[in-house]
Amino acid sequence: MCRELSLDPLAVRLKNAAKEGTKSSYGPTYNRIGLVETLEATMAHPNLSAPLGPNQGRGVAAGFWFNHGGETSVSLQIGEDGTVGVSVGTPDIGGSRASIALMVAETLGIEYEAVRVNVVETGSLGVNEPTHGSRATFASGKAAVEAAESAIKQMCARAAAEWGIDPEAVEWVDGSARPAGENAGKFPPLTIGEIGAKMGGTGGPISGHHESVPGGVGASFGVHVVDVEVDPETGKSTVLRYLVVQDAGRAIHPAYVEGQYQGGAAQGIGWALNEEYVYGADGRLQNPMFLDYRIPVASDLPMIDTVIVEVPNPGHPYGVRGVGETGIAPPLAAVANAVAAASGARLRSLPLSPPKVLAAIKANK
Amino acid sequence: MIKVHLWSGLRRLAGGAESVTVQAATVGQMFDAMIAAHPGLEPFIKAGVSVVIDGEVTAGGRNLAVKPENEIYLIQRVKGG
């Protein structure tokens, strides 16, 4: 539509962008989302003004995925040396342990290195849905923060008992319990290490546990821009540039967030250009191994450029939106648009494999 | 009366209706009234559906309150991400 009307596809998306209060594609009304900010960041990126040569074309697409809450259990233990162990039930497939450790460290006011996150099984922890629905950093992270808050309350109570004051008169600041103001009395701060070292004689072990089905999920929108060159002799498409711009809510561990963006793009490029089952006349799969089932490897791809947009999710204490799956939504359309712009071959089925593209180019002549 | 929007495969179980209106003050009463009106919904509701109230996927179970002014969506659970 944009091509026929000579409109900028990003400007059209911006004009029609879903925002807070818009009905989502799956029915309910969105809360705060960051599609507008994501589109604006995309339009400001230098890849949009990179010159295109012969047989080259640019494609854009936008997509989204929400994240799931799901049954979630987290335990947290204060060590006698002031270090903290966190047990979660969501296997780490994209950096969630590091992200959860960062959130716990921030909540407790201690160093990241003092927090160790382990993935344990249901018998050790409680029921957990697995890592799916882009939920691990969102749901286990939210539960871990709640567990840390519970432990903080207990540590403040231990300090209050030692000082002989009301627990409500103690606050937790920078990894230690302190009297909350002049009226609470004058006592030197008790660090998490000091409280942990003495906990055997002050009431026993200190831990926090939280189980819930976390609410407050936040949708994450992404915009992809891809430049391809199509060889008119063979129909082979080569990805020249690829840009992922996505709203992470708040990127707790930016490098892992970037990895999720790049992984989604790389897998999506494979789906768009190559991945397919090829069956013989006898019904047998002809490409059952990765030697023949073509997924992109590093030498097939350019550096996947990324921009992390941060529009905090109001439903999470650190603004997290699940980012794992959004990245796989736009690549198929973005690549197909780029191939069409480069070659004139507007294919309606994937993958855009060289034989299909070549046939479409010849049909257009 | 509350209006419950149906999504995905649930509509075919309610005669193709995009929404149904029932008398209910809780999610449990809402389910019961919907099953009474459209018995085909029963196995799917009992298997588990997501109840989205005012944009929030709820976890409150049958006792959660619903009001006429709420935007309510029932979404069939799907496997996968």
Is B59 within 8 Å of A65 when comparing Cβ atoms? Answer: no
Specify the pLDDT at position A66: 83
Q: What's the DSSP call for residue A14? A: H
Are the C-beta atoms of residues A285 and A362 closer than 8 Å to each other? no
Is A216 within 8 Å of B81 when comparing Cβ atoms? Answer: no
In the block, residue with structure tokens 């960051």: A34
Is A215 within 8 Å of B57 when comparing Cβ atoms? Answer: yes
What mean pLDDT do residues B38-59 have? Answer: 89
pLDDT of residue B60 exceeding 80, the answer is no
C-beta neighbour count of A39 within 10 angstroms: 23
Is A65 within 8 Å of B73 when comparing Cβ atoms? Answer: no
Burial class (CB in 10 A: 0-12, 13-18, 19+), A213: middle
Specify the pLDDT at position A1: 83
Sequence-ordered list of residues with C-beta below 8 angstroms from that of A167, at least 6 positions apart, any chain: A153, A156, A157, A160, A161
Are the C-beta atoms of residues A206 and A158 closer than 8 Å to each other? yes
Are the C-beta atoms of residues A350 and A241 closer than 8 Å to each other? no
**pTM of the entire structure?**
0.92
Q: Does A262 touch chain B (CB under 8 A)?
A: no
Burial readout A253-273 (b: 16 or more C-beta within 10 A, e: otherwise): beebbbbbbbbbbbbbbbbbb
DSSP H/E element including A211: strand A207-212
Per-residue pLDDT of chain A (365 residues; tens, 9 = 90+): 888 899 999 999 999 999 999 998 888 889 999 999 999 999 999 999 999 999 999 999 999 998 888 899 999 999 999 999 999 999 999 999 999 999 999 999 999 999 999 999 988 898 899 999 899 999 999 999 999 999 999 999 999 999 999 999 999 999 999 999 888 889 999 999 999 999 999 999 999 999 998 989 899 999 999 999 999 999 999 999 999 999 999 999 999 999 999 999 999 999 999 999 999 999 999 999 999 998 999 999 999 999 999 999 999 999 999 999 999 999 999 999 999 999 999 999 999 999 999 999 999 98
How far are the Cα atoms of A74, A75, A134 from residue A106, in angstroms, in the given order? Answer: 17, 17, 22
With CA atoms as reference, the chain B residue closest to A71 would be: B59
Q: Does A29 touch chain B (CB under 8 A)?
A: yes
Where residue A30 falls (left for φ over 0; alpha for ψ -120 to 50; beta otherwise) is: beta
Q: What are phi and psi of A141, to 5 degrees?
A: -65, -45
Are the C-beta atoms of residues B13 and B37 closer than 8 Å to each other? no
Specify the pLDDT at position B79: 64
What mean pLDDT do residues B28-56 have? Answer: 92
Q: Provide, as residue numbers in chain B, all residues whose Cβ is less than 8 Å from the Cβ of A31.
A: 55
CATH topology (fold) of A72-212:
Aldehyde Oxidoreductase; domain 4 (3.30.365)
- CA–CA dist A345, B59 (Å, integer): 48
Q: HSE, CB side, 13 Å, CA atoms: give it for residue A205.
A: 10
Are the C-beta atoms of residues A38 and A220 closer than 8 Å to each other? no
How far is A354 from chain B, CA to nearest CA, in Å?
30
Please report which confidence band the pLDDT of residue B80 belongs to, taking 50, 70 and 90 as the band edges. Answer: low
Are the C-beta atoms of residues A207 and A230 closer than 8 Å to each other? no
Q: Work out whether strand A190-191 and strand A176-179 pair parallel, antiparallel, or are unpaired.
A: antiparallel
Tokens representing A58?
A: 């640019």
Specify the pLDDT at position B81: 57
Q: Does B59 touch chain A (CB under 8 A)?
A: yes
Q: What's the DSSP call for residue A131? A: S
Residues of chain A with CATH 3.30.365.10: 2-67+217-364, 72-212
- CA–CA dist A1, A8 (Å, integer): 10
The CATH code that applies to domain A2-67+217-364 is 3.30.365.10
Q: Is the ipTM of this complex over 0.85?
A: no
Q: What are phi and psi of B9, to 5 degrees?
A: -75, 0
Q: Which B residues 20-39 touch A at CB under 8 Å? A: none
B2-76 has CATH 3.10.20.30 classification: yes
Q: Does B7 touch chain A (CB under 8 A)?
A: yes
Burial class (CB in 10 A: 0-12, 13-18, 19+), A251: buried
Sequence-ordered list of residues with C-beta below 8 angstroms from that of A8, at least 6 positions apart, any chain: A2
- CA–CA dist B4, A165 (Å, integer): 52
